[in-house]
Amino acid sequence: MTLSAVVLTRDEEAEIGECLRSLAFCDEIVVVDSGSTDRTVEIAHAAGCRILHHPLVDFAESRNLGLRAARGDWVLFVDADERVSAELQHEIRSRIAGGGAEPPAGFSLLRMEWLCGSWLHHGESLRVPMLRLARRDAGEWHGRVHECWRVSGRVDRLEHPLHHYSHRTLEDFVHRVNRYSTLGAADRYERGVRAHVWHLVAYPAGKFIQDYVVQLGFLDGAMGLAAAGVMSFHSFLIRANLLMLSRNAARDAHAAADDSTRLPAGVVKAENGQGG
């Protein structure tokens, strides 16, 4: 069984080298670049990757482009700020070569987060399985922001997590949360989701309690508190952006209605219905 890795990039020169080194166990690496202006493409070329240039419309479209270009029997999707540990490498190779009477269509895995110099072992981290490894012809990616890979067949779970280095500083964490909350709100709005004022309090509070208390984020110390706080803020920003989108749409609709009832220039409305 051959294995392809697909990586989406844009201005990832600080991360892509380590990512590609962790993927050296794969038979090929396909990089889908959406217009990098730094050394990302140069580094990927030097590592022997196949490079596809494609403007970012949505993440699912870019991932499907890489999926169609891959030549392996199996395809592994990894982001530039993620790393495949030696343990996960060995597990992936063992599982895709396992065979069996009813082999799975894919494998999901968990992701361990690195925040400001320490790993997060609780809270939202290591709670949400992600389908990142599947047979090339098992299905396609769907969704614009939080995209998912939909495959036909059984999906098993890998034991070892993917290492995620997206939040090296709190500043970077907040910046990413702000960016994705804007994208997430726009995606929800297009799907008909709406927010109310009370959502700005209830959802962030519920998110903090879930991450910090229910999912034991407090056991990660100061970084667990920081992570729960920022993710609560993320929940607030999504609802605030949704509320603003709804109000802006209502304002534009009201303005359009006023324009449609306004008389053309030079026309005077007659008093008591009588023409003059």
pLDDT per residue as tens digits for the range 58-113: 889 999 999 999 999 999 999 999 999 999 999 999 999 976 667 899 999 999 98
Name the pLDDT band for 274 (thresholds 50, 70, 90): very low
CB atoms < 10 A from the CB of 72, how many? 19
- Residue 53 pairs in a beta bridge with 33
Classify each residue of 30-61 as buried b or exposed e, where b means 16 or more C-beta atoms within 10 Å of its C-beta.
bbbbbebeebbbebbeebebbbbeeeeebbbe
Structure confidence at residue 47 (pLDDT): 95
Distances (CA, A) of 102 to 70, 98, 149, 158, 245: 24, 10, 20, 17, 48
Residue 49 pLDDT more than 70? Answer: yes
Confidence grade of residue 270 (pLDDT, cut at 50, 70, 90):
very low
Asked whether the predicted pLDDT for residue 266 surpasses 70, the reply is: no
User: Which residues fall within 8 angstroms of residue 275, CB to CB, at 6 or more apart?
Assistant: none
Work out the number of other CB atoms within 10 angstroms of the CB of residue 239: 24
Tallying the residues shown for the chain, one arrives at: 276
User: Which range scores top for mean pLDDT: 101-105, 107-111, 166-170, 188-192?
Assistant: 107-111
Contact 13/39 with Cβ under 8 angstroms? yes
Q: pLDDT higher for 50 or 268?
A: 50
> pLDDT value at position 262?
66
Residue 25 has pLDDT above 60, yes or no: yes
Domain with CATH 3.90.550.10 in the chain: 3-166
Which pLDDT tens digit goes with each residue over 243-257?
Answer: 998 888 878 777 777
| pLDDT tens track for 100-151 | 667 899 999 999 988 888 888 888 877 789 999 999 999 999 987 678 999 9
Higher pLDDT, 263 or 90: 90
CA–CA distance, 145 with 136 (Å, rounded to integer): 22
Query: Which of 84, 78, 59, 53 lies closest to 140, judged by CA?
Result: 59
Query: What pLDDT, on a 0 to 100 scale, did the predictor assign at position 117?
Result: 82
Least confident of 19-23, 164-168, 212-216: 164-168
What is residue 28's predicted lDDT score, i.e. its pLDDT?
97
DSSP secondary-structure letter at 161? P
Fold of the domain built from segment(s) 3-166: Spore Coat Polysaccharide Biosynthesis Protein SpsA; Chain A (3.90.550)
